[in-house]
Amino acid sequence: MKKIIKLLHPSYLDEFKCIGGECEDNCCVGWDVDIDKITFKQYSEIDDNEIKVVIKDNVFENRNCTNENADYGKVKLNKEKRCPFLNDKNYCNIQCKLGENYLSKVCTSFPRIINKIDDQYEMSLDVACPEAARLILSKEEGLELAESEKIFNKYIINDEIETNLDEESWLNYFKEIRGFSIKIIKDRNFTLSERLYILGDFIENLEYVDYETDDVNEFIKEYDVALARNSYKKDNLNYIFQVSFLNNMIKSLDIVNEIDSETFKRYTRQVLNGINAKDNYDIEKNADKYIYEFEYYIEKYVNENDYIFENYLVNFMYNNLFPFSEGEYMFDAYIMLLIRYSLMRFYLIGMHLDNQIDSRENIIKFIQVFAKAIEHDKNYLEEILEYIKENEFDNMEFASMIL
C-alpha cells in the first residue's frame, strides 16, 4: 500500500537517480541481500517459471533474523558474490519482469536512509552508492535541508529517536545537539581539523553537563567556539604518531585479508606500500619524509577540496543520528567520526605516495569505496572502537594528535 510521507532531507535528494546497470560498483554485488517478510511471502506466489527456479535455489528463511521488516529472509550470492537475480547487463530480473513492487524493502530503499525523529521522517543518501557519492560530495556550496512529500510503497526505518521522553535523557536534546554539531562542521571560518577539534571539545564538555539539573540548551547557546579553537595547537610531529598508529591499526585488523571488498584490499596494499613502514625504526628514519608528504597532501588536496570531506561528515552525522550513532557515550561517536576522517586522509596520503594519482574524482571514488567496505561492516567498526578504548585513546589529547 502506497503512503505519502512528509520528509526533511538534504536538498540533493531530488537530484538523485539510480543509474542501474551502468553503475561501476553495483549494490547487488558483494553485499548480503536481505528480504523482508512481506516480500518473502510474495515470492511464494510468483508465476514466472524462470524467477521461481532462482527463488527456490537461492532464497531462504534467515534463522538469525533480527527484524522481520528487514531480514526475515536472505538471498544466497553466487561464487562471484553477485545476486542471482542480477542479469548480464547488471539489471535486476525481478524488477525487469515483475516490477518494483516485488523488490524487497532493502532493495527498494538503498541508497536511501530513512530515520524517524518523533513524528518527523528524515531521508538522506548513503555515499556507499557511487552515484550518490558523486552527487553529495561534489557540492562545493555544502549541504542544506529541505522539506517535501514523497510517495512510498515499501520502505525501512533505519533508526528512530523519541525526544519527548518523560524521563530525562540526552535524547531529549538530540535535535539541539546534532544541529549544533553539524553547524560546527560547516563553519568554514576554520580549517577542517580545527572544526573537528572544536566538535570534540563541545561533546566532551557537554557530557559533563548534568541534564537533570543544568540547562543543556543554555550550555549549547553559550558554548564558545573561538575559545575551543584557541585550545587546538597544530604540531607537525603528530603526523609521525598518525603514521605509527594508523599503520599499526590497519595491520592489526588485517584489513588486507579480512575485508570483503577487493577494491579496498587493493587500496590497502597501495597504502602499506606507499608508507613503507615495517616498524617504528622505519617510521623514525623517514620522519622528515612523512612530515613533508603529509603537509604537501593536506595543503594541496585536503584543504583545497575540504568541502568534499565536510559534505561526507555532515551527511554521515545527519543519516547516522550523531552523536547517538555508536558506543555507550556521545564521545564514542565523536571518536569514531574522527577515526573515519583520519583513516580516509591516511589512506589518500599513502595511495598518493604509492602511485601519485590524485584528483577530486579519485578522492570521491575512494570515499565511496571506504563507505561501502567499512561503514557496512559493523564488526570492523566495533573492533576499531575496541582498539581505541583498549589503548586509552578515547580523549581529546588523542584527538589533537590524530588531526
pLDDT-based confidence at residue 401 (cuts at 50, 70, 90): very high
pLDDT-based confidence at residue 1 (cuts at 50, 70, 90): low
pLDDT in tens, 226-284: 999 999 999 999 999 999 999 999 998 899 998 888 999 999 999 999 999 988 889 99
Cross-strand bridge partners of residue 114: 123, 157
Round to the nearest angstrom and report the end-to-end CA distance of the chain: 49
pLDDT-based confidence at residue 151 (cuts at 50, 70, 90): confident
Task: Kindly provide the residue ranges of all beta strands, DSSP E only, lying in 36-155, ordered along the sequence.
Answer: 59-61, 73-75, 112-117, 120-125, 145-152
User: What is the gyration radius of the CA atoms in the chain, in angstroms?
Assistant: 22
Locus of grid cell 578522492: 363
Closest CA to 193 of 222, 235, 133, 241: 235
Extents of the domains making up the chain: 29-107, 231-402
Q: What is the mean pLDDT of residues 282-301?
A: 95
pLDDT in tens, 192-201: 999 999 999 9
What is the per-residue pLDDT for 55?
A: 95
Q: What is the mean pLDDT of residues 310-326?
A: 97
State the burial class of residue 386 (Cβ atoms within 10 Å of its Cβ: 0-12, 13-18, 19+). Answer: exposed
Q: Is the pLDDT of residue 154 over 90?
A: no
Q: Which residues contact 50 (CB under 8 A, 6 or more apart)?
A: 93, 97
Looking at the chain, the whole-number percentage of residues with pLDDT higher than 90 is 81
pLDDT in tens, 65-111: 999 999 999 999 999 899 999 998 999 999 999 998 999 999 999 99
Q: Is the pLDDT of residue 2 over 80?
A: no
Closest CA to 301 of 264, 350, 263: 350
Q: Is the pLDDT of residue 124 over 90?
A: yes
State the Cα–Cα distance between residues 91 and 107, nearest whole angstrom. Answer: 12
pLDDT in tens, 375-386: 888 788 888 899
Lowest-confidence pick of 49-53, 251-255, 339-343, 370-374: 251-255
Q: What is the mean pLDDT of residues 196-211?
A: 95
State the Cα–Cα distance between residues 15 and 10, nearest whole angstrom. Answer: 10
What is the per-residue pLDDT for 379?
A: 82
State the Cα–Cα distance between residues 122 and 6, nearest whole angstrom. Answer: 9
Residue type, position 334, single letter: Y
Global model pTM greater than 0.85? yes
Are 220 and 209 in contact, with CB atoms under 8 Å apart? no
Q: What is the mean pLDDT of residues 326-332?
A: 89
What is the per-residue pLDDT for 334?
A: 98
State the Cα–Cα distance between residues 153 and 352, nearest whole angstrom. Answer: 45
Average pLDDT over the chain, rounded to an integer: 94
Q: Angle at which helices 238-252 and 287-297 pack, to 10 degrees?
A: 90
State the burial class of residue 388 (Cβ atoms within 10 Å of its Cβ: 0-12, 13-18, 19+). Answer: buried
What is the per-residue pLDDT for 325?
A: 86
What is the per-residue pLDDT for 212?
A: 76
Q: What are phi and psi of 10, to 5 degrees?
A: -60, 145
Q: What is the mean pLDDT of residues 342-356?
A: 95
What is the per-residue pLDDT for 91?
A: 92
Closest CA to 51 of 21, 96, 90: 96
